[in-house]
Chain A
């Protein structure tokens, strides 16, 4: 591997000033936050947008005739429009505001899945999925008599597309795949999978939770039918997320949850439902959070994305090279196309112990099975240590990671 390139054109020092938590200390060391794959930190503008709404403009949406309610509705619908632009949906009505990726995937499984799946049909997932893109499909498959199959993962951590071609068939009704693996950082070939799914007459559902903080997503160019993501991994608030669905499909789908806001008219005998997106937003939505997420989209739009990608690629290359040469370290996931995620194991040391030693150095990483037990089984490991990068991370922080892993190796070498 060649030497890591110099940091890109990103003014990282200026970016970091917007994140007060990055100035704090853990165990006496400056916090090095490399757990962005679990949740990113939030810049001031996101927190302030949420707080300003709650303190000065709070009202319920789509309900009242009063001025404040109208302003809240405009702000909420404005957030939807920002999300539609962010994903390049054809129109805002194709974006449903959800509680997050898990809620979005359950919605697609329970509404779309349940209405199209018949006994004997197949749902094709992959071996690298997060549990949230496995369990909702198992739930619906179990109740309709459908079968789950999985595209295998190669030793490098890429999808085996030849195997995918062999397993996809006219029985396949749904293909559900992560855009980016939360463990391996692999960027999956969504356009290719979408063509494959459509040739077989299946719909493509994409879990974009790990993609939206790192890549510019264009749902139309990807050709997917559904695209699901969370706010909190892309510098936005927790408790809010987005589901893109092609209008044609959303219109055919039955509601998932019933309640206020999703109806056209209700009698005691029956109900007619509102058109999308309202049909899928029963109850009071996460209004302040959606407005915070809108602010996160605005924040991300300010970046030069070429510079962001260059910066994260540089951190990943440096971390992979420096951690990878530590004796006993094995990097898990060496796909050609990856975002800033480095997973590794240290021989003879459990990932949790590496995580604790790193914590004592102020370095926050994730050490676990990452809610991807089938993938852990595939690689024959209990878990990995995962360092995941964001726009505010620096080369110095990679140094702290390396020093912590060296320390873990020394402690456990005895």
Chain B
């Protein structure tokens, strides 16, 4: 039941409880209860919209930042990751295998803002040993959606 609802909402968060009720065959009250509980349990974190800002020619800069961290005894990377996560510029934060430890997805109004974040905030954090910033030149796909899908496919209007 919960999984069915999550599948529907993950694809379109604007579907109403009543519609979900029809699609799952469960009463509206039960759908509402399940969603409320999922929100409480933080299974559902937030309802957001996938926006292609490029269409508005907004100056929006994205960067991927690799961070090398000296792990703390017992806590490993969690303390420094917890601090980095607090910055609102950081959209995503992962601990990854490979030559660096943390991978950040950062957005800012200008490249300068991101440069400032790296030099003034990130580099000074205790445990951060090195950073490498990759500015994003073009976004092709976000949250599973291909951003510029060209003309789109045209279907026939009637097929018997």
Q: Are both chains from one complex?
A: no
Contact surface of A with B, Cβ cutoff 8 Å: none
Contact surface of B with A, Cβ cutoff 8 Å: none
